[in-house]
């Protein structure tokens, strides 16, 4: 039930944003992430954006993991 999904904001009006999921547009509350901008990836749970996902951090994490376990980038 705590599962939340990453989704991208395609429009914002006031404290409401629009995300697109599988071709369907959905309205989400942005009250908890007032800094969210159009184009941001957010974590969506029960109709609310809970956090902005850091793409930079995601890439850094995977690079660090690949390095730690010595998987060469060309291996994937």
Partner 1 sequence: MNIKKFQDPKLIKKIVEKLKRNKRQISLMEVCGSHTMAIGKWGIRDLLPDNIKLISGPGCPVCVTPMSIIDSVIDLKDVTIAIFGDLMRVPGERGSLELARAKGLDVRIVYSPLDALKLAQEKETVFVGIGFETTIPGIAYTIKEAYKNNITNYSVLTSLKVVPPALELLASADDINLNGFILPGHVSVVTGSNAYNFLPEKYNIGGVVTGFEPADILVSVDRLIQQVENNDAKIENEYSRIVTPEGNKHTQEIMKEVLEIDDGIWRGIGEIPKSELKIRKKYSDYDAAKKYNINIEYKEDKSGCRCGDVLKGNIIPPECHLFGKSCTPSNPIGPCMVSSEGSCAAYYKYERKQ
**Residue ranges that bind partner 1, judged by CB under 8 A:** 1-4, 6, 8, 29, 31-34, 41, 43, 45-48, 50-51, 53-55, 57-58, 61-62, 65-66, 68-71, 75-76
Shortest separation between residue 50's beta carbon and partner 1, angstroms? 5
SS (H, E, C) the chain: CCCCEEEEEEEEECCEEEEEECCEEEEEECCCCCCCCCCCEEEEECCEEEEECCHHHHHHHHHHHHHHCCCCHHHC
Nearer to partner 1, 14 or 68 (CB): 68
Q: How far is the CB of 11 from partner 1 (least distance, A)?
A: 18
């Amino acid at each position: 039930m705590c599962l939340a999904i990453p989704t991208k904001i395609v429009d914002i009006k006031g404290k409401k944003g629009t995300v697109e999921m599988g071709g369907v547009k959905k309205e989400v509350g942005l009250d908890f992430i007032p800094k969210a901008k159009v184009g941001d990836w957010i974590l969506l749970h029960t109709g609310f954006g809970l956090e902005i996902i850091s793409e930079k951090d995601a890439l850094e994490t995977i690079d660090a993991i690949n390095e730690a376990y010595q998987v060469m980038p060309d291996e994937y």
